[in-house]
Chain A
């Protein structure tokens, strides 16, 4: 009887104390591999006319005197200019962690447009957007302008309008020090990062189809992947890569000439031709009063060197 009792107790303890199924985490659905889709077709528009914007008015209206019914008057009535910008593109538009303010070369243009409409350069609201957001937000009128190192091209002209070119950039490649990548021709088989929805990504797929294109939401995400060893190189505009390289002493921008031309323009809803003309007037004023040069000197000269000068505007586009 004693043995029976011991066995029963032992069985009870074993049954009650042990025998839990091991805790398991359900398997997640497999994530997709880095994109290697076919390259987008190259824009077929005429590069000679792509930079043509709407001519500015002969004289800019004063801040208190915007034409009735104009886009500028509507912005003035709202009380602030809404601009889509980047907050992570060092030197062009990035949040200064020490002050919490977004600042850079692009932001200076927002301030000048706000000053031209309100007489006060601080009457603006910045909306931080990704490259892929730029066109849709303009088309939906959720932002008045996009000043986010956006390349002017004919494909985009079909959806939005651009100001005259405000900076002549070009696409380059950034690699680790000691990398065997020396240029476009040596990218085959290497993982190269570029932001989703950018011409940089399209150019990479078109000019280096054997490279493994890896997409990221923005260039700073590319830098994070680069620092974590997930990609071998980053491609983008020289201005952007200069900003990335200055955050990482082990990164170097290849010294080759840019393999594309990336003329930056300020994006506007295509229906707001009056605002485009107004902005072009502001850009002309920045040329004449030296504001463009001052801005370049503050943000880009330390890394990109001497000023190439504000690009000459091209007009003649008709609504």
Chain B
């Protein structure tokens, strides 16, 4: 634009000329002033509208990020629950095998329930997150293969054939070798998504549209001041004030949300993830306890696996006391087995009564499962509950931006009237 506006600067009286009587400037080329006022009005209105839209859009993204974080956390808890439940199924199957003969109906029912729950959870997880669908389909295939092998183990076992044990051991080995990496990938991907979404709040980014709009309004005010001998234009000042306040509020709210999300990440979210890992490791330990006894003296590899799982549980569980009680029974089983009292060790590992390893383990498993459920629920509830404020703020920001645009237009309009 080559057109020049060369209104004569007003002499500075040193007084606040806010309410000074209207005194038209004496432009050298008066025909240019309406055009200038139009352009200044467009610039001020555009700055306010863009500020409102961009800031509201960023707040909308933050709102959406929290919703996504809640959904991803639910998915994470779901896939960890699949893992724990699968390992629980394997612990039940190996323990039932150790009992010999017909497995107790309650134990059989518990195994069937665990496999049913895994199948339902895989379907739910596939519906909840399309990005997980292919991997969940692979997991479904692996679980089917596992449960088929366990059924073959049972069928052979019922006929007294040792190949039944081989099917069972192979099923457990395949479960860990094939389903393990799949579930780890699912857990890692969903944990990453959750943590990314919870950490998506960037308060200082909200400063940019505010600063930009404020700068444009400052410049417009300055242009008007130079030509109309008014230091401040009420409309522009009101718009600038609105922009400043909204920016400040947006930053404070975003910072608060960021801080709340960090508290969740360090608190209930971490509890849910850690406890789910502990529950999986606990069930893995229980299965290895049975495998150690099935292998009768050549089970050191399973005892090593038990020790590794025990270490993992101790590092992550909040149900320490319940785990300690189970671990104490396990140590008695090991002592009995090492001293050649295998039959007594098996009795202690398989009895359903109090004092046995199964009852002690079930107490841990139940407590751990409740912790996972409640911590997961707390995380998602808080993400969703604290989120509606951001949505309200986004709407208010948009409306206030539009109002600021109106005020700026009105302010420039006043000068146009004066000029006319």
A: residues with CB less than 8 A from B are: 1, 4-5, 8-9, 11-13, 15-17, 20-26, 28, 79-80, 82, 87-90, 94-102, 125-130, 133, 218, 220-221, 223-224, 227, 244, 247-248
Using Cβ atoms and an 8 Å threshold, which residues of chain B touch A28? 181
B386: A residues at CB distance < 8 A: none
Give which listed residue, A24, A100, A128, A227, contacts B99 with CB less than 8 A. Answer: A100
The answer on a CB contact under 8 Å between A220 and B165 is yes
Q: Say yes or no: A127 contacts B296, CB within 8 Å.
A: yes
Please name the residue on chain A nearest to B157 by beta carbon.
A97
Closest-by-CB residue of A relative to B153 is: A97
User: Which chain A residues border B61 with CB–CB below 8 Å?
Assistant: 12, 15-16
Are A26 and B57 also in contact (CB < 8 A) when A125-B342, A129-B298, A224-B170 are?
no
Please give me the residue from chain A that is nearest to B342 by CB atom. A125
Within the complex, the shortest CB–CB distance from B279 to chain A, in Å, comes to 22
Give the docked Cα–Cα distance between A119 and B181 (Å).
53
Cβ of B244 under 8 Å from chain A: no
| Bound CA–CA A218/B342 (angstroms) | 23
- Cα distance A278–B54 in the bound complex, in angstroms: 93
The answer on a CB contact under 8 Å between A23 and B163 is no
**Given the complex, which residues of A lie within 8 Å of B402, measured CB to CB?**
1
Residues on A with C-beta less than 8 A from B98 are 100
Query: What total of chain B residues lie within 8 Å of the partner, measured CB to CB?
Result: 51
Complex CA–CA separation, A79 to B338 (angstroms): 13
Chain A CB within 8 A of B105 CB: no
Bound CA span A5–B134, Å: 36
Chain A neighbourhood of B156, CB < 8 A: 97, 247
Residues of B within 8 A of A (CB): 49, 53-54, 56-57, 60-61, 64-65, 67-68, 97-101, 129, 131-132, 134-135, 138, 156-167, 170, 181-182, 185-186, 189-190, 193, 295-298, 340, 342, 346, 398, 402
| A16 and B160 contact, CB distance less than 8 A | no
A25 to B183, CA, bound (A): 8
CB distance from B202 to the nearest CB of A (A): 14
- A100 touching B346 in the complex, CB below 8 Å, given contacts A22-B131, A224-B170: yes
A83 to B153, CA, bound (A): 27
Inter-chain contacts of B132 with A (CB < 8 A): 23
Nearest to B98 among chain A residues (CB) is A100
Q: List 21 A-B contacts (CB under 8 A).
A: A4-B49, A8-B54, A12-B64, A15-B64, A20-B193, A21-B131, A23-B131, A23-B186, A82-B340, A87-B162, A88-B166, A96-B100, A96-B160, A97-B101, A97-B156, A97-B162, A101-B100, A128-B295, A220-B163, A247-B161, A248-B163
Alpha-carbon gap, A5 to B68, bound state (A)? 22
CA distance A221 to B149 in the complex (A): 13
Contacts of B56 in A (CB 8 A): 8
Whether A17 pairs with B68 at a CB distance below 8 angstroms is yes
Given A12-B57, A24-B135, A97-B158, 20 more contacts at CB 8 Å? A1-B49, A9-B60, A12-B61, A15-B61, A16-B67, A17-B68, A20-B131, A23-B129, A25-B135, A88-B163, A90-B161, A97-B97, A97-B161, A97-B164, A128-B295, A129-B297, A130-B298, A224-B167, A224-B170, A247-B163
Distance between A16 CB and nearest chain B CB, rounded to angstroms: 3
Q: Give A89 to B161 CA distance when docked, in angstroms.
A: 10
- Kindly state the separation between the CA atoms of A97 and B342 in the bound complex, as whole angstroms: 16
Centre residue among B49, B138, B165 by max chain A CB count within 10 A: B165
Complex Cα gap A11–B164 (Å): 57
Nearest 8 A-B pairs (CB), nearest first? A100-B100, A127-B297, A16-B64, A125-B340, A23-B189, A20-B131, A247-B161, A94-B162
Chain B residue contacts of A88, Cβ below 8 A: 162-163, 165-166
Q: How far is the CB of B98 from chain A (nearest CB, A)?
A: 7
Task: Note all chain B residues with C-beta closer than 8 A to A9.
Answer: 57, 60
Which residue in A24, A100, A128, A223 is a CB contact (below 8 Å) of B297? A128
B64 touches A13 (CB 8 A): yes
Task: Return chain B residues, CB-CB under 8 Å to A98.
Answer: 100-101, 160
| Measured CA separation A293–B217 after assembly (Å) | 109
Whether B342 lies near A220 (C-beta < 8 A) is: no
- Beta-carbon contact of B131 and A224 below 8 Å: no
In the bound complex, how far is the Cα of B296 from the Cα of A44, in angstroms?
Answer: 36
Chain B residue contacts of A128, Cβ below 8 A: 295-298
Contact (Cβ within 8 A) B53 A8 = yes
Whether A20 pairs with B100 at a CB distance below 8 angstroms is no
| Other-chain contact of A5, B138, B298, B398 (Cβ < 8 Å) | B398
Query: B298 to A4, Cβ gap below 8 A?
Result: no
Say yes or no: B134 contacts A95, CB within 8 Å.
Answer: no
Per the bound structure, the CA–CA distance linking A126 and B340 in Å amounts to 8
- Complex interface: chain B residues within 8 A of A227 (CB): 163
Which of chain A's residues have a CB closer than 8 A to the CB of B190?
Answer: 23
Looking at the assembled complex, report how far the CB atom of A5 sits from the nearest CB atom of chain B, in whole angstroms.
Answer: 6
Contacts of A99 in B (CB 8 A): 100-101
Could you tell me if B162 and A22 are in contact, using CB atoms closer than 8 angstroms? no
B135 surroundings in chain A (CB, below 8 A): 22-25
Q: Which residues of A contact B163 (CB under 8 A)?
A: 88, 220, 223-224, 227, 244, 247-248
CB distance from B121 to the nearest CB of A (A): 15
Minimum CB distance partner of B66 in chain A: A16
Q: A26–B161 contact, CB under 8 A?
A: no
- How many angstroms from the CA of A224 to the CA of B398 in the assembled complex? 68
Residues of A within 8 A of B164 (CB): 97
Closest B residue, CB atoms, query A80: B340
Which of A4, A22, A248 contacts B53 (CB under 8 A)? A4
Q: Is the CB of A224 within 8 A of B160?
A: no
CB distance from A180 to the nearest CB of B (A): 25
**B333 → A minimal CB distance (Å):** 15
Min CB–CB distance A215 → chain B (angstroms): 15
Instruction: Find chain A residues with CB under 8 A from B101 CB.
Output: 97-100
Q: How far is the CB of B126 from chain A (nearest CB, A)?
A: 11
Find chain B residues with CB under 8 A from A80 CB: 340
Complex-state Cα separation, A237 to B10, whole angstroms: 114
* A24-B49 contact given A125-B342, A223-B163, CB 8 Å threshold: no
Nearest Cβ in chain B — how far from A19, in angstroms? 9
Choice from A5, A26, A95 contacting B165 with Cβ under 8 Å? A95
**B182 (CB) vs chain A CBs: closest residue:** A25
Q: Closest CB-CB distance, A22 to chain B, in whole Å?
A: 5
Taking CB atoms, residues of chain A closer than 8 Å to B57 are 8-9, 11-12
- Provide the residues of chain B in CB contact with A11, threshold 8 Å: 57
- Is the Cβ of A97 less than 8 Å from the Cβ of B131? no
Complex interface: chain B residues within 8 A of A96 (CB): 100, 160
For A133, the chain B residues whose CB sits under 8 A away are 298
In Å, the complex CA distance between A264 and B295 comes to 23
Q: How far is it, in angstroms, between the C-alpha of A11 and the C-alpha of B58 when the chains are bound? A: 11
Interface centre among A5, A82, A99 (most CB of B within 10 A): A5
